[in-house]
């Protein structure tokens, strides 16, 4: 292999018409960044003239006519160095039509200064969970370059599925600023755990239009839809999916009781309460499943003695009648779900202790109104890991969505990261 080909190989440059000036490879620091600057020439004997089409038979019809100098091309980093190719492109003169033209290369598109390799690298980087700012910084391109790349990708991001998942989960998350509704709608396939689609609105009207793109037969083959308590979803599921069992998933059932107990605790966290610090700092113990509380005694500063988790919780709930009743109600709910004991669950929500807080009363009312769909969550087993995975995914989406102004871009990145589309 010639030295030139060897260097081209190292730089991942396929165009063998590029000649590296090995005497002019410099390391420079520009604005505090390390650069490797490589001088190269692009030249070859053209086959024909792009203006008049004359064939360059004897190699005399078209002659070399100097260089267009100093085209700076961004190529991928070498080692830890940002790398620039100063490319001098051969100019040609056609004797037949008396026009000149410039040599072309597969390294970079005409009038561009970002090599195709770098473009490809942007796509690959967009598939990783990282901010666009970081990508721009690492590849030494502008943020607007990344933005344009996402424009390009999102312009052909249309997910088309030939059928709907047999079992799907519907959920929402707060979306970017430019979306129609405030909330975006996400569909996850309950069997694979993969995102099926994301829509920029959770409004019934928009969702109905979306689902009606699938034929009635396709919709009739959907067997299960899991969702939260949002009445709009339940109404829509009943209207469009007549064979589907509607399930309110365990995660959202538990969340209601969890939030109710926690706000009851918070309402007691007043400075005037002598147990203020205990209730404030030991909140995790109160929300924990009572069966998971430890009996081992350790020193605790709030109690200034050796005390077990169980004893601490007992102490705290016995400081207030309402807290105690609400706590017991919560524990009953999470354990009846955990043990798949629907009778016990029903008993708790239809015959509650009258001392429970108004927040918990509200939660129980919601349970009673949706008892049919809650019962289904005891009947139909949806993989717990997938439910959890979905909810973690949505949490991550919320975090990422925050930085996005354009919904299309956000969705494209999610799909890129999840490997649903290719850049």
Only segment of 43-51, 323-331, 369-377, 378-386 that touches Zn ion (CB under 5 A)? 43-51
Q: Which is nearer to Zn ion, 63 or 72 (CB)?
A: 63
Binding residue (CB under 5 A) for Zn ion from 16, 28, 33, 51: 51
Q: Cβ of residue 126: shortest distance to Zn ion, in angstroms?
A: 42
Q: Which is nearer to Zn ion, 48 or 342 (CB)?
A: 48
Binding residue (CB under 5 A) for Zn ion from 96, 100, 267, 273: 96
Look up tokens 């003695």; give the residue: 305
Q: Cβ of residue 90: shortest distance to Zn ion, in angstroms?
A: 16
Q: Cβ of residue 109: shortest distance to Zn ion, in angstroms?
A: 23
**Distance between CA atoms of residues 153 and 423, nearest Å:** 6
Q: Which is nearer to Zn ion, 92 or 241 (CB)?
A: 92
Q: Which is nearer to Zn ion, 40 or 103 (CB)?
A: 103
Q: Which is nearer to Zn ion, 44 or 342 (CB)?
A: 44
Q: Cβ of residue 54: shortest distance to Zn ion, in angstroms?
A: 5
Q: Which is nearer to Zn ion, 97 or 366 (CB)?
A: 97
In contact, 227 and 170? CB cutoff 8 Å:
yes
Only segment of 42-50, 250-258, 261-269, 278-286 that touches Zn ion (CB under 5 A)? 42-50
Binding residue (CB under 5 A) for Zn ion from 8, 42, 49, 244: 49
In contact, 329 and 257? CB cutoff 8 Å:
yes
Q: Does 55 bind Zn ion (CB under 5 A)?
A: no
**Distance between CA atoms of residues 129 and 120, nearest Å:** 17
Only segment of 44-52, 130-138, 167-175, 242-250 that touches Zn ion (CB under 5 A)? 44-52
In contact, 76 and 67? CB cutoff 8 Å:
no
Only segment of 45-53, 176-184, 332-340, 371-379 that touches Zn ion (CB under 5 A)? 45-53
Identify the H or E element spanning 26. strand 18-30
Q: Cβ of residue 13: shortest distance to Zn ion, in angstroms?
A: 29
Q: Which is nearer to Zn ion, 94 or 356 (CB)?
A: 94
Map the footprint of Zn ion across residues 290-319, applying CB under 5 A: none
Q: Supply φ then ψ for residue 219, to 5 degrees.
A: -70, -35
3-state secondary structure string across 128-182: CCCCHHHHHHHHCCCHHHHHHHHHHHHHCCCCCCCCCCCEEEEEEEECCCCCCCC
Distances 132 to 122, 125, 176, 299, 358 between C-alpha atoms, Å:
10, 9, 16, 47, 46
CB neighbours of residue 56 within 10 Å: 18
Q: Supply φ then ψ for residue 398, to 5 degrees.
A: -60, -40
213's tokens: 């793109």
Map the footprint of Zn ion across residues 65-94, applying CB under 5 A: 94
Alpha helices in 194-249 (DSSP H): 204-211, 216-220, 231-240
DSSP 91-105: EEEETTT--EEE---
Q: Cβ of residue 65: shortest distance to Zn ion, in angstroms?
A: 12
Q: Cβ of residue 69: shortest distance to Zn ion, in angstroms?
A: 23
Q: Cβ of residue 100: shortest distance to Zn ion, in angstroms?
A: 9
Q: Cβ of residue 92: shortest distance to Zn ion, in angstroms?
A: 9
Q: Does 285 bind Zn ion (CB under 5 A)?
A: no
Q: Supply φ then ψ for residue 299, to 5 degrees.
A: -70, 135
Q: Which is nearer to Zn ion, 10 or 52 (CB)?
A: 52
Q: Cβ of residue 50: shortest distance to Zn ion, in angstroms?
A: 8
Q: Which is nearer to Zn ion, 94 or 122 (CB)?
A: 94
In contact, 281 and 302? CB cutoff 8 Å:
yes
Find the length of the chain: 423
Q: Which is nearer to Zn ion, 52 or 63 (CB)?
A: 52
| Beta bridge mates, 414 | none
| Beta bridge mates, 263 | none
Binding residue (CB under 5 A) for Zn ion from 37, 97, 127, 400: 97
3-state secondary structure string across 152-167: HHHHCCCCCCCCCCCE
9's tokens: 């190989």
Residues forming contacts to Zn ion in the complex (CB under 5 A) are: 49, 51-52, 94, 96-97
């Amino acid at each position: 292999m010639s030295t030139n080909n060897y260097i081209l190989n190292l730089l991942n440059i396929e165009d063998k018409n590029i000649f590296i000036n090995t005497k002019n490879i410099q390391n420079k620091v520009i604005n505090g960044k390390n650069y490797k600057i490589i001088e190269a020439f692009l030249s070859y004997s053209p086959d024909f003239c792009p203006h008049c089409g004359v064939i360059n038979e004897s190699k005399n019809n078209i002659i070399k006519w100097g260089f267009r100098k100093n085209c700076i091309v961004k190529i991928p980093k070498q080692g830890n160095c940002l790398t620039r190719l100063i490319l001098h492109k051969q100019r040609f003169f056609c004797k037949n039509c008396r026009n000149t033209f410039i040599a072309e290369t597969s390294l970079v598109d005409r009038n561009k200064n970002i090599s195709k390799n770098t473009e490809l690298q942007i796509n690959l980087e967009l598939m990783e969970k990282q901010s666009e700012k970081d990508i721009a910084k690492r590849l030494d391109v502008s943020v607007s370059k990344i933005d344009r790349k996402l424009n390009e990708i999102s312009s052909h991001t249309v997910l088309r599925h030939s059928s709907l998942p047999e079992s799907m989960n519907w959920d929402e998350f707060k979306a970017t600023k430019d979306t129609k509704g405030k909330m975006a709608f996400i569909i996850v396939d309950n069997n694979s755990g993969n995102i099926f689609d994301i829509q920029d609105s959770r409004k019934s009207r928009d969702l109905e239009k979306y689902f009606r793109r699938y034929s009635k037969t396709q919709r009739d083959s959907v067997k299960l839809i899991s969702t939260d308590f949002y009445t709009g979803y339940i109404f829509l599921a009943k209207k469009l999916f007549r064979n589907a069992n509607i399930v309110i998933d365990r995660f959202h059932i538990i969340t209601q009781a969890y939030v109710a107990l926690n706000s009851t605790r918070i309402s007691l966290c007043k400075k005037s309460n002598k147990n203020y610090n205990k209730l404030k700092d030991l909140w995790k113990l109160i929300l924990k499943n009572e069966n998971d509380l430890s009996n081992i005694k350790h020193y605790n500063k709030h109690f200034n003695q050796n005390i077990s988790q169980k004893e601490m919780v007992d102490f705290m709930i016995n400081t207030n009648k309402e807290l105690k009743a609400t706590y017991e109600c919560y524990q009953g709910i999470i354990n009846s779900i955990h043990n798949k004991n629907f009778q016990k669950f029903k008993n708790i929500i239809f015959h509650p202790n009258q001392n429970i807080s108004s927040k918990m009363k509200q939660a129980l009312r919601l349970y009673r109104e949706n008892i049919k769909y809650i019962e289904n969550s005891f009947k139909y087993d949806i993989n717990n890991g997938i439910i959890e995975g979905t909810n973690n995914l949505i949490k991550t989406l919320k975090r990422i969505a925050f930085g996005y102004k354009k919904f299309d871009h956000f969705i494209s990145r999610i799909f890129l990261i999840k490997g649903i589309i290719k850049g």
